[in-house]
Amino acid sequence: MSAIWRKQHIELNELNELNKNTLGEALGIQFTEIGNNYLVATMPVTHVTKQPYGYLHGGASAALAETIGSVASALIINPEKQLCMGLEINANHVKAVQQGIVTARCEPLHIGATTHVWDIRIANEKHQLICISRLTVAIIKKH
């Protein structure tokens, strides 16, 4: 299977550089794997990503999903001619997490000229599904 990415070879450090001075960096998101048609990133469950009851905040899961999906779209578009912006996100939180690291895997459902739709599944360290998300990204022409 050929890769869906614009560049043939992408280093993880390039992806992690995209998080500098962003919400992704504040949340501790790290890209850990890139495949032909998927990305994987992790996020620690800490005081920064928890809600007041001590569990992973649903908004932190949504931010992880939007970060990984947006970066995936950025790896497909032509950055000289296009921008990609989150258009819609849905997140179903199916299991609570109090500690550890969560891992998101992002795969395409649709890669079109004006929209990309990503399936993002977030799991705990026991590989149990904690959140399933769908992100739609708008592909916009630069002016």
Active site residues: 66
The burial class, CB within 10 Å (0-12 / 13-18 / 19+), for 46 is: middle
Task: List the one residue out of 122, 102, 100, 127 whose CA is nearest residue 42.
Answer: 102
Q: Tell me the helices (H) and strands (E) count for the chain, helix number first.
A: 3, 6
Task: Tokens for 33, please give them.
Answer: 């794997």
Question: CB-based contacts of 115: which residues, under 8 Å, 6+ apart?
Answer: 87, 136, 137, 138, 139
